[in-house]
Amino acid sequence: MSLHLEHIKQKFGSTPVLNDINLVIRPSEFLAILGPSGCGKTTLLRIIGGFLKPTSGTVRLDGTVYSDSSVMVPIENRDLGMVFQSFALWPHMTVREHVEFPLKSRKKAGWPAEKKEAAAAQAIHDMGLDALADRYPGELSGGQRQRVSLARAIVSKPSILLMDEPLSALDAELKINMRKEIQDIHRRTGAIIIYVTHDQSEALAMADRILVMRYGVIEQLGTPEEIYTHPESEFVATFVSKCNLLHGTWQGSDFHVAGHPFVYPDTGIACPLKEKGLYPVRPEQFHITYDGPGLEATITNRQFHGREIHYAVTCGKEEFQVFARSGEVFFPGESVRLVFTA
């Protein structure tokens, strides 16, 4: 099944928040919606979920219209499950009661009791909650609570799972483990996952495609590799992971670095960057040496990150980020050269 968003617009009062969003989310696709605070990510998710009727536009799952100018299918009749940042658990209900809850809806009235029981047991088991099934949320850790809300979202085997910053309330290590659990859920269920985040590393790590949004419009839609290696705008280049933007002039497919006698090749740099006389260089594309043909720079900061050392360097009036292998040690104040490798 594919989810179609056609000409979605949303205004709150006279303020436009989403401006003509058009998108087809493919069967079993993991789509991350990434963008800065206030760009409209949650609003788009609420429209898909049925919490909000768009000002105009159509949402449909294959041939079934969920919202358009005359239709607004209620949340409980949409084929989806949801997971929120806040977990949204009720203190008076046990883990098992939470997981059973979606099966009580009218939509699941046709399921025989044994099927419901088996589905709940399976979801509890899949999320590693067997030993905790009779506990209340107040007796669970943050990670366990989020596993309950994941079990509740998948129990009725929906075609779409909506996730709104599901990991942002968890600590760093737990986040990394839960990423894997969410990927496992995706593989097991084959559901479309629409995952809202402002954490670019989560989006790059997990998604099949990333939708980068800004000011209510789509800035770029592509695979993590496409977004990382071929950002289509200055915003995408710098918002999705670290990126150095060099100034200079484009002559055909050659980029002449301003103030330096170096020419860099066109590796598929997008037109909006070329028009601004920019060349994006990821931190690992610069190599630091003491001599050789490279941009003259000075080390200003060094941070140890295990396998890598992250350097800040000044180059003329610019400050660049460079990631080097751990053995390559330089010290703040040293004069170095930055050698670019495409």
By CB under 6 A, name the binding residues for ligand ATP. 12, 17, 35, 37-43, 198
Shortest Cβ 168–ligand ATP spacing (Å): 9
> Which residue has tokens 């003491």?
290
> Of the candidates 174, 157, 146, 87, which has an alpha carbon nearest to the alpha carbon of residue 122?
157
159 vs 197 by CB, closer to ligand ATP: 197
The dihedrals phi and psi of 233, each to the nearest 5 degrees, come to -150, 165
Query: Inter-axis angle of helices 142-154 and 113-126, to 10 degrees?
Result: 140
Q: What is residue 280's three-state secondary structure?
A: strand
- The least CB distance from residue 183 to ligand ATP, in Å, is 22
Shortest Cβ 59–ligand ATP spacing (Å): 16
For the stretch 64-73, contacts whose Cβ atoms lie closer than 8 Å and that sit 24 or more positions apart, written own/partner, are: none
Q: Which is nearer to ligand ATP, 59 or 313 (CB)?
A: 59
Residue 47 CA to its chain's centroid (Å) = 18
- Supply the minimum distance, in Å, between the C-beta of residue 215 and ligand ATP: 10
- The DSSP code for 144 is H
The Cα–Cα gap between 281 and 321 comes to: 9
Smaller CB separation from ligand ATP, 216 or 283: 216
Task: Supply the Cα-derived Rg of the chain in whole angstroms.
Answer: 24
With respect to ligand ATP, which residue has the nearer C-beta, 55 or 233?
55
In this structure, are residues 315 and 279 in contact, taking their beta carbons and an 8 Å threshold?
A: no
* Cβ distance to ligand ATP smaller for residue 159 or 200: 200
The smaller minimum CB distance to ligand ATP, of residues 57 and 294, is found at 57
Question: What's the closest the beta carbon of residue 18 comes to ligand ATP, in angstroms?
Answer: 8
Shortest distance in whole angstroms from residue 315 CB to ligand ATP: 33
* DSSP string computed for 245-260: EEEEEEETTEEEETTS
Which residues are registered as beta bridge partners of 60?
4, 65
